[in-house]
Amino acid sequence: MGKGPAKLTDREYKVMEVLWNSEKDLTINEISELSDDRKLTVACIAQVIPRLLKKELIRVEKFIPVNTKYARTFRPEISREDYSEGELLRLLQKTGTKAIISALVNFTTINTDKEFLQDLEASIEEYIRKKKG
């Protein structure tokens, strides 16, 4: 995908989440079975899949026999991390770095403050190392 990941609707994201959490390629029925969302029915997923294919976020992996017919299996074309990075970059362009950092700091809880700050420090150190080297 050339210009970065396409924005996902809530339902598209839920389908992608099931695919990201799976070690193997899945059929529409398997996606429905593995989803925690009861609204993610086979019929709903059947409508979402063509949009994800068009956005080039998933691919047809193979055709497998199911009863007397064949079913397609699907795999993500983008990792959860790459998608999240694209969404964050899109948000950064709209709001700016200071707003993002402020939001992250304000939404952390007392239990996660220390871990959050450690992760932030590690990320900054890694960024500085990459810039120098």
pLDDT at 101: 78
pLDDT tens digits, one per residue of 40-98: 999 999 999 999 999 999 999 999 998 899 999 999 999 999 999 898 888 888 888 88
CA torsion sign for 83, 89, 90, 95 is positive
What mean pLDDT comes out for the span 24-46?
Answer: 96
Distance of alpha carbon 44 from its chain centroid, rounded?
19
**What pLDDT was estimated at residue 16?**
98
- Give the residue among 12, 47, 46, 17 at the shortest CA–CA distance from 29: 46
Whether pLDDT at 2 is above 60: no
- Residue 71, Ramachandran bin (φ over 0: left; ψ between -120 and 50: alpha; else beta): beta
DSSP 76-88: ESS-HHHHHHHHH
